[in-house]
Amino acid sequence: MSQTYHAPAALPGFAHVETWVFDLDNTLYPPEMALFDQINIRMTDWVMRALGVDQPEADRLRHRYWRDHGTTLAGLMRHHGVDPGPYLEEVHDIDFTVLAPDAALAEAIAALPGRKIVYTNGTRPYAERVIAHRGLDGLFDAIYGVEHAGLIPKPERAAYETVFAADGLTATRAAMFEDDPRNLAVPHAMGLRTIHVAPAPEPADFIEHHTDDLAGFLSRLR
């Protein structure tokens, strides 16, 4: 006996969206590809050499600065006067071949109406390499890195205001996809639709949707 296929119901509440904002790491690729794990290792190595500390202390500082300042770099700049240029170049010099193209995600992003942009706490050159290895080239109208926010990272409100102003987007007509829950608090307050992209949901009043399947979620917005 054959079964009738029923497509997932379309998600309401997105008809007004004209700009789609995507985080990069662990959002446009799944965490199990472990790309950012390489960056964490390189950050720890950099902190060990620059500050003359052992690995446990470097790991502690890396995590503490990420927790307290949004990124490890922001903490290093604030507390140690680190030059961001060499740091950003070195920690993003990683193996991108762990990433695989995702045709379903590319199709789902391409089908979205309006502008599509990437906004990451990494750099634009790094984001461009990730996007290329994921087979998402040519799908985004703009790519913004931490350098476009004056090196102020998410979740600082000033970072969003700077990038969104540069893009010219209207916050109340935009949606943002992020793996780090704390990075959705300010966008929600600014009026964006907020979607948490992660294996497990994170209860918070500033998170409107959760998905562990970005391509599947986007396909329901058509």
Q: For residue range 62-94, what is the model confidence (pLDDT) as tens digits? A: 889 988 988 888 888 889 988 888 888 888 889
**What percentage of the chain reaches a pLDDT higher than 70?**
95
Mean pLDDT of 88-104: 92
pLDDT of residue 91: 85
Q: For residue range 128-169, what is the model confidence (pLDDT) as tens digits? A: 999 999 999 999 999 999 999 999 999 999 999 999 999 999
C-alpha radius of gyration, the chain, whole number: 18
Q: For residue range 180-196, what is the model confidence (pLDDT) as tens digits? A: 999 999 999 999 999 99
pLDDT(126) > 90: yes
- Read off the pTM: 0.90
Phi, psi angle pair for 143, to nearest 5° = -130, 120
pLDDT of residue 7: 45
**What is the set of domains in the chain, with CATH numbers?**
19-29+99-219 (3.40.50.1000), 35-91 (1.10.150.450)
Q: Are 49 and 64 in contact (CB under 8 A)?
A: no
Mean pLDDT of 199-220: 96
pLDDT of residue 66: 83
Mean pLDDT of 36-61: 91
pLDDT of residue 9: 59
pLDDT of residue 2: 46
pLDDT of residue 5: 36
